[in-house]
Amino acid sequence: MYKVAVLGEYDSIYGFATIGLETFPVSDPEEAETTLNRIAEAEYAVVYITESMAKQIEKTIQTYKEKLLPAIILIPGVSGNTGDGVTGVKKSVEQAIGSDILFGSNN
């Protein structure tokens, strides 16, 4: 059975454990890359990563974009919402359906 992971700064992700998701608190980019690679090799279907941590490990995340699993989804952290998560989801939907989900055309 596939699992769901949440990766990022402790203060941003600890609450996800209360709803049954496995949390992986990391404090620096090197630890985040190592942890993401370990998660990707395990049976995780979805990995939520805080936007601020994802920004620091963009190259590592990019290696998983072409793979079926895990799906990597950016989420805001305690430092706020950068908009990167929404932009990523919007691009994925546009790629899948060939249309801008907000305006109904390719912009």
| pLDDT per residue as tens digits for the range 31-46 | 999 999 999 999 899 9
Which of 22-31, 43-52, 96-105 shows the lowest mean pLDDT across its residues?
A: 96-105
How many Å apart are CA 64 and CA 61, to the nearest integer?
6
Amino acid, res. 64: Y
Give the residue, 86 or 46, on which the prediction is more confident. Answer: 46
Q: pTM to 2 decimals?
A: 0.78
**Any idea what DSSP says for residue 19?**
G
Rounded alpha-carbon distances, angstroms, from residue 105 to 71, 89, 94, 96, 98: 25, 16, 9, 13, 8
How many Å apart are CA 77 and CA 12, to the nearest integer?
5
Which is nearest to 19 in space by CA: 33, 30, 5, 7? 5
